[in-house]
Amino acid sequence: MIKLEKQQGIATVTLSRADKQNALSFDMFIQLNKTIKNIKKDRAIRAVVIKGEGNHFCSGLDVAGVMASPFNIVKLLFKWLPGNQNLAQKVVLGWQSLSVPVIAQIDGNCLGGGLQIALGADYRIVNNNAKLAIMEARWGLCPDMGANAVIAGLVKRDQALWLASHANPISAQQAEQLGLVTQLTGDTQTATQSMLNTLLERSPDTLAAIKRVTQQSYKLNQRKILAKETFSQIRLLLNPNTKKAIAKAKGKTEVTYNNAKRW
């Protein structure tokens, strides 16, 4: 379900589940993590492109599939220390750990976990007709895949808060205004290739140094953010209001939420 193709120094990573708009299954998390490790070991790779098969980048987490097994949730969220990255966070922040440029080529829907993966890339080439959203709040959950560690360098605090809270798709043009888009285009393939052509003209050591220096200049306390993400998500998974939010998202019932617990 994750395809990796290496050609002329370019690693192309394809989310390959087109019949479900490339929704993320548990196995895809495992495969993405292995793919990142594979690329990291290959010194011939000069750049990475992440894209979706078919007409969409990724519609987000396959909630029904992943949550069908409670053990899968444990494996996604488990970490030895609070500030470490769990599996869900590794498939986002893993792209930041690579010393080469990473481009997310976004067509169609880029929602929920799909957008978080794209935020882990260094650049986002977005089709004019694309839709983007952070959708976890619809399910009574909070974004917990590590994107909070990078979004502060892209979006103002109030806009990041509103984007995660309203949980509705926004247009590519709105996303560009927020700062989520590197380049807006009618042809993502051509635009991605053009960016690759420019990057490949530069020394790979120069690009690696620029990436690390830029990361450091925007760096927050990542370990505290990752710990807070995971703690908050576990607490929400055990919260009665989350079950009500899931039922509401499935359109099964009107709900009345309990009073909020103190956070």
Contact 195, 103 (CB under 8 A): yes
> Residue 254 above 80 pLDDT?
no
How much is the pTM?
A: 0.87
**Euclidean distance between CA atoms 189 and 201, whole angstroms:** 19
Sheet with strand 131-133: strands edge to edge:
109-111, 131-133, 170-171
Instruction: Say whether pLDDT at 233 is over 90.
Output: no
Q: What band does 68 get if pLDDT is binned at 50, 70 and 90?
A: low
Contacts of 242 (CB under 8 A, 6+ apart): 139, 140, 141, 236
CA dihedral sign, ordered 258, 236, 113, 133? positive
Smallest CA-to-CA distance from 66 within 76, 54, 51 is with 76
Q: pLDDT band at 259, cuts 50/70/90?
A: confident
Query: Which residue blocks in the chain are alpha helix, DSSP H?
Result: 26-41, 63-67, 70-77, 87-97, 113-120, 148-151, 157-166, 172-178, 188-200, 204-217, 222-237, 240-249
Q: What percent of the chain has pLDDT over 90?
A: 63
Containing 7, the helix (H) or strand (E) segment is strand 2-7
Interval 196-202 mean pLDDT: 96
Give percent of the chain with pLDDT exceeding 70.
97
- pLDDT score recorded for residue 262: 67
Average predicted confidence (pLDDT) for the chain:
90
Q: Could you tell me the domains of the chain?
A: 2-204 (3.90.226.10)
Q: What is the pLDDT of residues 13-46, one digit of tens each?
A: 999 999 999 999 999 999 999 999 999 999 999 9
Question: Residue 78 pLDDT more than 90?
Answer: no
Residue 149: its pLDDT value, please? 84
Assigned token pair, 48: 């990475």
Q: Return the HEC string of 122-140.
A: CEEEEECCCEEECCHHHHC
